[in-house]
Every structure is written in C-alpha cells, then in structure tokens.
Amino acid sequence: MAATSFDRLVEEMQRPPFHNWLMPIARGVDDERREVVVALPFRPDLSLSPDQPIFHGGVLAALIDIVGHAAAAVWHGAPSPTIALQIDFLRPAIATELLAKAILRQLGRTVSRVDVEIGDGNKAFVLGRGTFLTRGSET
Amino acid sequence: MAATSFDRLVEEMQRPPFHNWLMPIARGVDDERREVVVALPFRPDLSLSPDQPIFHGGVLAALIDIVGHAAAAVWHGAPSPTIALQIDFLRPAIATELLAKAILRQLGRTVSRVDVEIGDGNKAFVLGRGTFLTRGSET
Amino acid sequence: MAATSFDRLVEEMQRPPFHNWLMPIARGVDDERREVVVALPFRPDLSLSPDQPIFHGGVLAALIDIVGHAAAAVWHGAPSPTIALQIDFLRPAIATELLAKAILRQLGRTVSRVDVEIGDGNKAFVLGRGTFLTRGSET
Amino acid sequence: MAATSFDRLVEEMQRPPFHNWLMPIARGVDDERREVVVALPFRPDLSLSPDQPIFHGGVLAALIDIVGHAAAAVWHGAPSPTIALQIDFLRPAIATELLAKAILRQLGRTVSRVDVEIGDGNKAFVLGRGTFLTRGSET
C-alpha cells in the first residue's frame, strides 16, 4: 500500500534524533493546498523564561525549519535540505500549544519555496519562509 | 564590581530554561570588535541523523537566535527581543563542536543588527543575520 | 475632506523623484484586508535582456520596496522607513504589466510587517516580505 | 586573449538595458578575495526626496541585486540567476557616490552565496546577502 502524504509527514516528524527531543506532532495534510500542519505542546524546557510559559525564539526557529522542510519533502518525495530561512517574529509566543502551518509555494526542479506560519490557531506569532533544495543533495 | 561583557554573555547563556537543555557555552568576548563567541559541543540528541554526527538545522537556527541576541543584549545592556532572522545554510554541520561568532554591526536607537557565523573554527557551516529591538520591549 | 487610503497610495506613488522615472501606478486599496495593489507596465529600459521582455530583478526588488512601504505608510499615516526586505524570485518575470499586491500583516508600535507578491495577475514571479519602522524616523 | 575578471565585471555592468539607465560603474576586482567593487554616482532621478540627495531604497535594493549577481557570475563564468535577496537598511544613504562591494562567500554546485555592502567608502548604508543559481538556468 502506498504511503500517503500524512504517512510521510509522520515519518518526517520522527526520523531525526533532535525531533525525539522536541516532539513535534503531525496534525494534518492538505494535498490540494500542499499544506502540512504540525503541533508543538508547551513544556518548561522550551521556555524563554523561568516565570512565564513563553516559547523560546530558538525553538520557534527550529520549528520553522522542521515544518518548512516537511512540506518540501512530502511533495518532493525525498529529503530537501534547507538552503535558507527567513524568520519574522511578530509577538511573544504565549500558548499551551503551537500550531505550525507550512504551505509549499513552489516545487521547482532545483529549489522549493515554503511559507510557514506559527500561531495558536487564532493569531500568528511568527512568519517564516524557506528555500529547500530539490536537485541532488549538495548545495 | 561592575559586570564585564563576559559576565553578561555567561548570564545570557544561562537564564532561559531552553538554554539549560541546549547548553551553549560562553567562550569569549571582544569589546573592541563587539564580538561574542559561543561553543556548542555535539550530542546525539542535537543530531539530524541517527547514523552521522551532523547538527540538525533547527539546532543551528536556534543557536543563531541565541548568539545573535547575546551580541545585541551584551552591548545594549538589556534584553533585545529578536525581530527577524535570516539564516543561510552553506554545508552540512559535521563537527564535534560548533563555534558561533556574532558581531554587532549596528547598535541603533530602535534596532540592532548582528552578523553570526557558525563553523568548526575553520570553515563556515551557516551564516546568519538578525535584527533585534533596542527600544521598549514591544514590537 | 479627509484623504482616503487610495489618495494616500496615489501620493505614495508620486512623491519620490525615483518614482517619476519608474512610474508605478496606484491601482487599488482594500481597507478591510489592508491591501494595496500597484501596477508597473513593461518598458524596454526596465528589461533584463535586450532581446526579451523580461523585467530586471533589480526593478522587481525596487518595486517590492515601494509597494511594501506604501502598505505600511498608508495605514500608519506617516512615512515608515524600510528596515529590511526579503525577496524570493520564483520565475522569470515575463509580462506586459506587473501587478504588485502588498498586505499589511502587522502594524506594531515599533515596526510593521508587509507581505508582497508580484505577478501577472495569474502566477507569482516574486515573493517579498518587509519590515518597516513605525516609531520615530531613525533606525 | 582571455577575458579577465575585470572584463567580465565591466560586461556584467553593461549588458542589461536596465543598467544603461542606472549606469553602475565597474570599479575593481580582487581575484584572491573574490570581491567586486561597483560605484553609483548620485543623480536626482535616483533620489528618495525632492529636497535631499538621498538614494531611494529601491535603487539600493536594485544595486544589491546587480552587484551580488556580478560577483556570482564573474567566478561562475556564466549567468547566475538571483534566487533570493536579503537586504538590511542601516541608515539613510546620503552620498555623492555609492560604493558597493560584493564578496563571493560560496561557489557551490547548485547555488552561490554573496555578501554585499553599500556605503560611501567609510560607513555602511545597507547590508545585503544573496543566493544565486549556479546549476542550469531554471529555478
């Protein structure tokens, strides 16, 4: 039986050892829109502050990379190393769970482009845009 | 006795709970060049691959944020929330220890700009550039 | 009589001497979505090539700056100097007229964020994202 | 007789029709550092303001594209279409002549990376970083 896009997203979230620590959760895939959704519940070791449940910017940046790569890899059907990321922080990420949506804007022969938005399902905390390699594995 | 720039860098590396997991190490400060150096030893849970000692791109992105912020905060003398990051991945980060150098390019009244380079002390793996807020704490 | 958003967009397109050469045309404003639309007809002196009607990347970059700034300035009600631009080129911009849409994603007390897309009304040629200053006029 | 790097830079500055209007001037090439220098004298039609000799941000963005591409193309030995640009504006570009330096940071099999700095020879007005395609001509 062929792997579905959701199977591929689940696998993307599991393979790298770093993900076993971060524990992003595959939440959904929309093949029409070429969009993936990943969740990340808050834990104290993801925090910027000892006093407030606010996600650290470094965690948000890592999540942009992971979810952007997932959107590129799911529809490319192979790993797509990250070439570049642009990350814009709009407001403090205070939430019990992050929702990260990544939409594949372009699947080219050499590079792919992905737009990522991290929020709480209501408002955006961070906007990301990434370029991923689709041709060969070397940059 | 007044805190030195190196004291401030050490404090930057320790405060957020996320850093207690990542464990970046304050390595040096150059007040003249307004440059900080931070090290991050390899560990399996920072890895992209179960088979190879290669740092995950998300870890590199998080380190760009942390070290860039540190350079902005040390010379601003106060927290400088990250507004935006640009991260360019040049080659796979295979090393037993990362060295991240951040140089404060501009300390403005509203924003600061920082250039970051992560490598093994010899060649660069990742280039980063960040914008940090210096005025008030809201974006 | 108060100036409308469209009046302000028209004024934005006219004031700087550089615009008198480029000649971008205010096409529309959507106050609900906080979106502006600007057109730029092809001319040979905007071209990348002596043989083909393809807009030069530098012209596209300039248009991202102009239209992004316009969206920030129209709803800020004052000039909003550009702090940073990110520009992603998806495909050659072969068209008789460019349509640039800019949507204000955040109007903050210190900075604004704007998403820009340049295309032919059908497909996108370039994606842009900009950060603009809303507080004071110095960076 | 083989074309030198400087010949190639001169040619880069001349070919596209848009350059015939902008008129950037090839100033120098350093083969060792893989660096090119291009000048752009002030003219009123490049201005942001009718009252002050200040270069328009769109002109600066266009120059980043042109000079970054030139550094990539000179050492690649072929056109290298721009994939992405990041542009950081540090301060108003008030000068009688801009000097733009671009240094090729990586010449890869698929993409190149170039750092660009525009200033007056003394202080920087704008920092740029670009990714250029080296493999095939399609993105």
Nearest to D126 by CA among D98, D86, D89: D89
Distance, in Å, from the CA atom of C62 to the CA atom of C33, rounded to the nearest integer, reads 23
CB C134 within 8 A of CB C111: yes
| Residue among D58, D66, D91 minimizing CB distance to C65 | D58
Maximal C-alpha separation, chain A:
49
Q: ∠ CA A75-B60-B13 to the nearest 5 degrees?
A: 145
Give the pair of three-digit tokens for residue A40.
């990340």
Distance, in Å, from the CA atom of A64 to the CA atom of A129, rounded to the nearest integer, reads 8
Name every residue whose Cβ is closer than 8 Å to that of residue C2 and which is 6 or more positions away in sequence: none
Neighbours of D114 (CB within 10 A): 30
Minimal Cα distance from B136: which residue of C?
Answer: C110
Residue D1 pLDDT more than 80? no
Q: Classify residue C46 by its DSSP letter.
A: G
For an interface test with B, the pick among D64, D82, D86, D88 (most B C-beta atoms closer than 10 Å) comes out as D88
Mean pLDDT by 10 residues, chain B (139 residues): 87 93 97 98 96 95 98 94 98 97 96 98 97 73
- Burial label for C21, CB within 10 Å (0-12, 13-18, 19+), is middle
CB B32 within 8 A of CB B3: no
Task: Say if C20 is an interface residue toward chain D (CB within 8 Å).
Answer: yes
pLDDT in tens, D102-112: 999 999 999 99
Q: Could you tell me how many CB contacts below 8 A there are between chain A and chain B?
A: 116
CB B93 within 8 A of CB B54: yes
CA C3, chain centre distance (Å): 20
Contact (CB<8Å) B111/C135: no
Place of tokens 């967009």: C9
Give the pair of three-digit tokens for residue C44.
């040979």
Nearest to B66 by CA among A81, A60, D86: A60
Q: What is the mean pLDDT of chain D?
A: 94
| pLDDT for the residue numbered C3 | 82
Distance, in Å, from the CA atom of C136 to the CA atom of D90, rounded to the nearest integer, reads 15
| Residue among D105, D124, D129 minimizing CB distance to B129 | D129
pLDDT in tens, C71-96: 999 999 998 999 999 999 999 999 99
Nearest to D115 by CA among D100, D130, D97, D136: D130
CB C12 within 8 A of CB C74: yes
Nearest to B126 by CA among D29, A61, A88: A61
Distance, in Å, from the CA atom of B137 to the CA atom of B139, rounded to the nearest integer, reads 7
Give mean pLDDT, residues D61-69: 98
Q: What is the mean pLDDT of chain C?
A: 94
Nearest to C51 by CA among D63, D68, D15, D80: D15
Contact (CB<8Å) C136/B110: yes
> Can you list the alpha helix ranges (DSSP code H) found in A4-56?
5-14, 17-22
Name every residue whose Cβ is closer than 8 Å to that of residue C7 and which is 6 or more positions away in sequence: none
Distance, in Å, from the CA atom of D54 to the CA atom of A116, rounded to the nearest integer, reads 36
CA D97, chain centre distance (Å): 14
In single-letter form, the type of residue at position C68 comes to G
Neighbours of A17 (CB within 10 A): 16
| Residue among C17, C84, C89 minimizing CB distance to D83 | C89
Give mean pLDDT, residues D18-35: 97
Fold of D5-133: Thiol Ester Dehydrase; Chain A (3.10.129)
More confident: A135 or B33: B33
Residue A139 pLDDT more than 60? no
CB C79 within 8 A of CB C12: no
Distance, in Å, from the CA atom of C82 to the CA atom of C137, rounded to the nearest integer, reads 10
In single-letter form, the type of residue at position D107 comes to L
Residue A71 pLDDT more than 60? yes
Task: Say if B88 is an interface residue toward chain D (CB within 8 Å).
Answer: yes
Residue C1 pLDDT more than 90? no
Distance, in Å, from the CA atom of C113 to the CA atom of C85, rounded to the nearest integer, reads 10
DSSP letters, chain A, are: -PPPHHHHHHHHHHSSHHHHHH--EEEEEETTTTEEEEEEE--GGGBS-SSS-BB-HHHHHHHHHHHHHHHHHHHHTS---EEEEEEEE-S--B-SEEEEEEEEEEE-SSEEEEEEEEESSSSEEEEEEEEEE-SSS--
